[in-house]
Amino acid sequence: MHRVYNFAAGPATLPEDVLREAAAEMLDYQGTGMSVMEMSHRSKPFEKIIGEAEQDLRDLIGIPEEYAVLFLQGGAWTQFAMAPMNLMHKGKADFVVTGSWAKHASKEAGKYGTVRVVASSEDKNFTYIPKLSRDMFDQDADYAYICGNNTIFGTQYHFVPDTGGLDLVADLSSCILSEPLDISKYALVFAGAQKNVGPAGVTLVIARKDLITDQVFKGTPTMLTYKTHLDGKSLFNTPPCYAIYICGKVFKHLKATGGLAAMQQRNQEKAALLYDTLDASALYKGTAQKDSRSLMNVTFVLNDPELDAAFLKGADAAGLSGLKGHRSVGGMRASIYNAMPKAGVQALVDYMRAFEQQEAKA
Ligand SMILES: Cc1ncc(COP(=O)(O)O)c(C=O)c1O
């Protein structure tokens, strides 16, 4: 068998233990004589799978009863519309635009109300997280919105903005479960699973229950109404059963390996390895400002873009896959989500140093 270190931004690497367990259960899930892929979502075994997945996620983050946990479909993009359709009662939202995803979300929300951009880092190609203070937010808006980790630009909030009590909505697609999360500071968070949680096809939503009502934007489809899924316990219609099952295994794996504080520690160590290498190098340069650097997506450029192709080719040959930066920014991006082992980051750093030495001699 051949496995590579997969640095892709998502869908992304998953814990090998989880994949092995799923493989062992593929044809016969715990004596049921069928795969979870073939199983009714109304069956007892599946009810147990989704029930445990929710409880394990609640335990990991520490999510109180006042918050709903929903397993939805449609990816983060659907949440860009679903959040305003359900939450924009006065028709006003305050957005902090720190990258392409926040910008997409702001445009989508603009279809349902008035979006005000409170701050943006577009002036410096989204290389930093702007300073924010409570007086910047309109207390009469429905909510404030941030993207917690900017997958494309490699920047991340290392603080929760003080909105002065205004409800905060956050896209945590590329950082959820990478560190402890104080959910009480948020009204609603969402995350496509395919980066840090599980396979593509399921989207996590954690939201304060009092915000989930029948009062939604006129014409909102049943499927895009949070209440449908709260009332249906994420089983209103056929959910992405297999993806939820794998997420459940990832949650158990995280619990068994020390929870989110231990995960954060490992993520900090991995990121430090890579950023220290960038900072000590004459060839590579990190693109994000130091205080805004992401622990999950490490973006960098080579001082001579002519070398990009050779760098990527050599990386592939060394079993280091998925390092090409997002098409909108170029350069390189190493996504080092929870499931990327430290050995993978070490292998990348070793390759980067060897490539730099080779180029210095050439
Ligand atoms: C932060 C962030 N938000 C949203 C998206 C879009 O997610 P999806 O493809 O699940 O709609 C991505 C995807 O890469 C992302 O990184």
Residues 165-183: tens digit of each pLDDT: 999 999 999 999 999 999 9
C-alpha 198 – ligand 1 centre gap (Å): 14
User: Are 296 and 336 a contacting pair, CB within 8 Å?
Assistant: yes
Same fold, 16-256 and 258-361: no
CA distance 143 to 166: 6
Cα–Cα distances in angstroms (integers) from residue 286 to residues 234, 290, 326, in the given order: 41, 9, 15
Domain boundaries along the sequence of the chain: 16-256, 258-361
Structure tokens at 234: 């994420």
Q: Tell me yes or no: is domain 16-256 CATH 3.40.50.300.
A: no
Strand, helix or coil at 2? Answer: coil
Does 75 contact ligand 1 (Cβ within 6 A)? Answer: yes
DSSP for 257-297? TTHHHHHHHHHHHHHHHHHHHHHT-SSEEE-S-GGGB-SSE
pLDDT score recorded for residue 288? 97
**Residues annotated as part of the active site:** 101, 171, 195
Closest residue by CA, ligand 1 atom 14: 10
Strand, helix or coil at 155? Answer: strand
- Torsion sign over Cα 235, 74, 104, 12: positive
Q: Which residue carries 């109300």 as its tokens? A: 113
Write the pLDDT tens digit of every residue in 117-126: 999 999 999 9
C-alpha 176 – ligand 1 centre gap (Å): 12
Q: Which of 101, 155, 203 to mutate to test the pocket of ligand 1 (most atoms within 8 A of CB)?
A: 101
C-alpha 243 – ligand 1 centre gap (Å): 17
Does 148 contact ligand 1 (Cβ within 6 A)? Answer: no
Closest residue by CA, ligand 1 atom 4: 76
- Cα–Cα nearest to 147, from 114, 91, 109: 109
pLDDT score recorded for residue 327? 83
Give the number of the atom of ligand 1 that is nearest the alpha carbon of residue 101. 3
CA distance 211 to 128: 31
Please enumerate in sequence order all residues whose Cβ is within 8 A of that of 122, keeping only pairs 6 or more positions apart, or say none: 97, 103
Which residue positions in the chain have pLDDT lower than 70? none
Structure tokens at 214: 């029948």
Does 239 contact ligand 1 (Cβ within 6 A)? Answer: no
Phi then psi for residue 322, to 5 deg, are: 80, 30
Class of domain 258-361: alpha beta
Q: For residue 62, how many C-alpha atoms fall within 13 Å in the half-sphere facing its CB? A: 10
Does 201 contact ligand 1 (Cβ within 6 A)? Answer: no
Q: What is the mean pLDDT of the chain?
A: 97
pTM over 0.95: yes
